[in-house]
Amino acid sequence: MRKNKRVTGKIKSWLVNRYPAQRTVKLTQNRIFILPTYAGAAYLIVVLLILLLAVNYQNNLAYAVCFMLLSLFITAILHTYANLSGLNISALTTEPAFSGERAYFRYQLNSERDMHQLCLRFSHHEIQTVNVVANVPKNVEVPYLCSQRGWQRAELVHINSLFPLGLFQAWSWLRFDQTVLVYPQPIVGGALASSTGSDGHNNLVGVHGDEEYEALKPYYPGAPKNSIAWKAYAKGFGLQVKEYQGSSSDELWLDWGAWPELTIEQRLSCMSYWALELSSKHTPYGLRLPDVELEPSIGDRHNNQVLKKLALYGIEA
C-alpha cells in the first residue's frame, strides 16, 4: 500500500513537471493514457478459451468468433480513445466553500464530437459523470473536500472514460491554474457580546412583527425574503425591503478579543459561525480583527467580505 502510494506520488510529480497548470486544456494524444481494464483482461482470457475450442475441434467458425472478438478488442482502443480525444476543458471560477465541506470546482467541457460517460474526480473523491453533446458546452462541478482555510489550489483532476465497451479505460490527469477560497469551518461556540449593551444578544433572536417596520429601502442582494415588501411590489413600486426598528440601533461586533481562551483557528471558526448566524437573521454586524476592521453592515457582499477576511487571516501578506 505504501509502495503504491509512493508510485502514485512519483507519477504525480512527473505529471506536475510535464504539464504546466493551465486555464484551458485540450486532450490530445500526448495527454491521453489508455490501458485495458480488468474486464478487458478477462475478455482476452475468454478469447483464448475460444481459440482453444477452435483449435481442438478444428472449427473454423469458432476461429472466426475468436478473431472477431480479438479484432474488436483492437477497434475498442480507437473508440475509447476517440471518446476523450479533442475534448476541451476550461476551469471556471469556483464558489468559496467552508473548510470541512466540499468545494465544487467548476469546469466547462466542450467538444466537436459527442462524448459519452466522462468521469471526472479528484483522487479519493466522488465521481461526476457527464455526457457532452457536440458543440454544446457542458458545465460540471467536481467536488473536493476542503480541510484548510485559505486559498486551496485545485489538485490534479482525473478524467476517464470506459465508453463504449468498457474493455479499455482512457484517462488523463489535468492540472488547472485554479484556486478556491476556503472559509474557516463554522463551529458553534462562544457567546457573542454586543459592544453597546448587554441586551444586544437577546435582541438578535427577536422576531419582528409584521407591520412594525420603519422605512422601505431599495432591495439589496441577500435581503431576507420575509422582509421584502411584497405589497409595495404588487403596487408597482419595485422591490423594496422593510427596514425594522431596532435593527440598526444595536451594533454587533465580531471581535477578535471576545474569546481570549480560544486558539486562533478556534476563534476564526467561532467568528465564521456567528457571521453565518447573524447574516441568516439579517442582523448587521461588524468585524474586528487585529489588522482589519469592517464596519457593521448587512447583505451578501458584506458577509462574503467578512468570511474572506476570516479565511485569509494570517495568510495574506
Partner 1 sequence: MPIQQSISLLSSSSKKWLMIMLLVVIAPQVAYVPLWLTVIAVSVIAWVGVGLVRQLPELSIWGRRLVVLGVIVGVLLYASASKGLAGLSSLLIAGSILKVLELRTRRDGWVLVLVACFIAAVGFLFNQSIAAAIYGGASLTVVFSALIVMHQSNETAEFFYPLKKSMLILLQSVPLMLILFLIFPRIAPLWSMQFQNSVAKTGLSDSMQPGNISQLARSGEAAFRVSFSTDAPPVNSQRYWRVMTYSKFDGTRWSMEKESVGNRQVNTTKTNLVDYQVIAEPSANTWLFALDYPSGNPSPGVLRLRDGTFRAASPVFERLFYQAKADLSRSYDGRALINRSLYLDVPSRGNPMTRKMVNEWTRAGLSAEQKISALWERFNKEFSYTLSPQRLSGDRVDQFLFSTQEGFCEHFANATAYSLRLAGIPTRVVAGYLGGEWNPYEKYMLIRQYEAHAWVEVWLDGKGWVRLDPTAAVAPERVSLPFDQLFSDAPEFMAEDSLAIYRLQQNFQWLKKWNLRYDALNYSWHKWVLGYHEVQSNLLQDWFGKISILKMLLLLFIPVGAVLSFVIWRLLKTPYREVNELDQEVVAISAALAGVSITLARGLDETVAGYSQRITVVIPELEFQLRQWSDLYHQMRYTTPEFQNENDTKVFLSLGRKLRGNIKRLNKSEYYEAFS
Rule CB under 8 A: which residues touch partner 1?
A: 35, 37-39, 42-43, 46, 49-50, 52-72, 74-76, 78-79, 81-82, 85-86, 112-113, 116-117, 127, 129, 131, 134, 160, 162-166, 169
Pick the closest to residue 14 from 123, 178, 175, 179 (CA basis).
Answer: 175
Residue 59 or 248: the one with the smaller Cβ distance to partner 1 is 59
Q: How far apart are CA 258 and CA 285, in angstroms?
A: 14
Cα–Cα separations (whole angstroms), residue 170 to 84, 159, 176, 240, 261: 7, 8, 19, 54, 54
Instruction: Give the separation between CA 269 and CA 265, rounded to whole angstroms.
Output: 6
| Minimum CB–partner distance for residue 170 and partner 1 (Å) | 11
- CA 57: distance to chain centroid? 58
Helix (H, G, I), strand (E, B) or coil at 257: helix
Residue with smaller CB distance to partner 1, 79 or 308: 79
Say how many C-beta atoms besides its own lie within 10 A of residue 132's C-beta: 22
User: Minimum distance between the CB of residue 96 and partner 1, rounded to whole angstroms?
Assistant: 29
Least distance from C-beta 231 to partner 1, angstroms? 43
Beta bridge partner(s), residue 173: 158
**CA atoms of 56 and 50, how far apart (whole Å):** 10
Considering the complex, what minimum distance in angstroms separates the CB of residue 93 from partner 1? 21
Minimum CB separation from partner 1 for residue 283, in Å? 45
Task: State which residue, 43 or 253, has the beta carbon closest to partner 1.
Answer: 43
Minimum separation from the CB atom of position 9 to partner 1 (A)? 17
User: Can you say whether the dihedral through the CA atoms of 253, 259, 262, 263 is positive or negative?
Assistant: positive
Q: Is the backbone peptide bond immediately before 260 cis, with ω within 30 degrees of 0?
A: no
Residue nearer to partner 1 on the CB measure, 37 or 304: 37
